[in-house]
Structure 1
Amino acid sequence: MTIRNWAKFFFYALLVGGLVNGIFSLFIRWEFFQPYVTNGQWGEFFAGFLWMVFLGFTMSVIAQAGFFAYLTLHQVGVNIFKTLTLWNWVQIVLIAITLFDIVFFRFAPSVDTTQDWLFYIGLLVVLVFGSVATAIQKVKMTGKKHVLVSALFFMIVITTLEWTIALMGRDANIDQYVALLLFPLLAVNAYQLLVLPKYNEQSEIDRQKLEARRKARREQAKNA
């Protein structure tokens, strides 16, 4: 990917994270915004909203770092296990381990009531459903069925690792942040997975145009 297209990729992924986090914060953390709305304190309201957007930017940067780390991991995995089929089976096992870990070692310590369980299981459903939907769309876009497992691995395992920042917290409002931070991570990771090929293709077109311009200038220099 060229630097120009990487900058676009980074900027739009940043916007996705910021906007998604800002919008969902109005629902998930409404009790934070409600006093400002009730009292007509619109300056404080917009300051709080911008803070949520900035938090989304931070999650986007984390998600982008995780994405490029996964691209490296995927190549290493294929090289180590020699075949994509075997690497896919390894990824399936790691997906199962991740789901087990998130329920029994991340959710369970924070759960006290049935309502808490419903809350966390609901978040797990969002994670899995969003991951499956993204992976299916990736298969449709590429026409390659074998990418399903890799897409699921990235969306579930890597997103969970990035989400661990919130899951390990013990603040009084941690449940709200656990819920809130899942959405920008899912959105940014889905965006990255689905649009990266577009930027790679554009980068190849840009390189060809650049080479054509260089060739034209060399021809002009010879004829001068």
Structure 2
Amino acid sequence: MNTRKLVYLLTTTLIIGALAGAIVGIVLDPSTYFSGGIGNFFFGVLWMLGISAAISLIAQMGHFAYLIFHRLALGVFKSIRLWNKIQVVLIVFVFFDLIYFRYIAFASEDETIFGYMMMPILLMLYCILVAYRKRQETNKEAFVPALFFMFVITIIEWIPALRLETVNDSKWLWIYLAPLLASNTWQLLTMHRLTGVPNHSKVATPKRAD
């Protein structure tokens, strides 16, 4: 990847993350933006774009950190299959923790753990779809690393929001999550196009000699 492609990836990721956060923020809390006139709307959107762009930068750092971590892990375990099995275990562990620890930290006496399962399940389903798309566009061994990046790394980047008691409100959790998901999805599905990684998932059919 040359400098031009790198700048393209960083710039587009920043824009997509900022727009995603702003759109979700307006959709989930329209009264804040439309109740105070055009000036309130303009500065409200500008503020949300800035916050979302900052969150997008976190996603970019997480992406490049995982690329380095992934290469180091492959060097240690010497096998993509073994490393993939370890990543699957970590995915399950993080999925369980996302449900259980949020329930322990924020649940009131009248709440059950089932109410804290919806968000992790929806997030996991989305990440599986993105990872499957990555597998289709590259190769079958890319599914687990893509799922690990989309789910585990996104959760790690999401931790500052999860740790704040004031944002246990699902609205703000989604506002924080939207730029992360949009940025990570774009980075994951764009990286192989910029680096020219070939698609080995399809076996070429030999031509019949006439």
- Bin the TM-score by the shorter chain: 0.7 to 0.9
2:67 equivalent in structure 1: 71
Aligned-pair identity in percent equals 33
- Give the letter aligned to residue 149 of structure 1: V
1:22 equivalent in structure 2: 22
2:98 equivalent in structure 1: 102
State the Cα distance separating 1:152 from its structure 2 match: 0.6
Q: Please, which moves more after superposition, 102-111 or 44-53?
A: 102-111
State the Cα distance separating 1:107 from its structure 2 match: 4.1
State the Cα distance separating 1:150 from its structure 2 match: 0.6
CA distance in 2, matches of 1:170, 1:23: 24
CA RMSD of superposed structures (Å): 2.0
Distance 1:2 1:179, change over 3 A: same
Bigger Rg, which one: 1
Alignment of 1:10-159 (within 5 A): 10-36=10-36, 41-112=37-108, 113-114=110-111, 118=115, 120-142=116-138, 144-159=139-154
State the Cα distance separating 1:172 from its structure 2 match: 6.3
1:73-116 deviation digits (Å, cap 9, x = unpaired): 11111111111111011001110111111111134312225499
Unmatched segments (≥5 aa) in structure 2: 198-210
Give me the TM-score of the superposition, normalised by structure 1: 0.81
Q: 1:178 aligns with which of 156, 173, 177?
A: 173
State the Cα distance separating 1:46 from its structure 2 match: 1.4
Q: 1:161 aligns with which of 151, 156, 159?
A: 156
CA distance in 2, matches of 1:30, 1:124: 25
CA distance in 2, matches of 1:5, 1:42: 38
Unmatched segments (≥5 aa) in structure 1: 203-224
Distance 1:115 1:75, change over 3 A: same
Give me the TM-score of the superposition, normalised by structure 2: 0.86
- Give the letter aligned to residue 41 of structure 2: F
- For the Cα contact (< 8 Å) 2:33–2:41, is it kept in 1? yes
Between Structure 1 and Structure 2, how many residues are aligned? 196
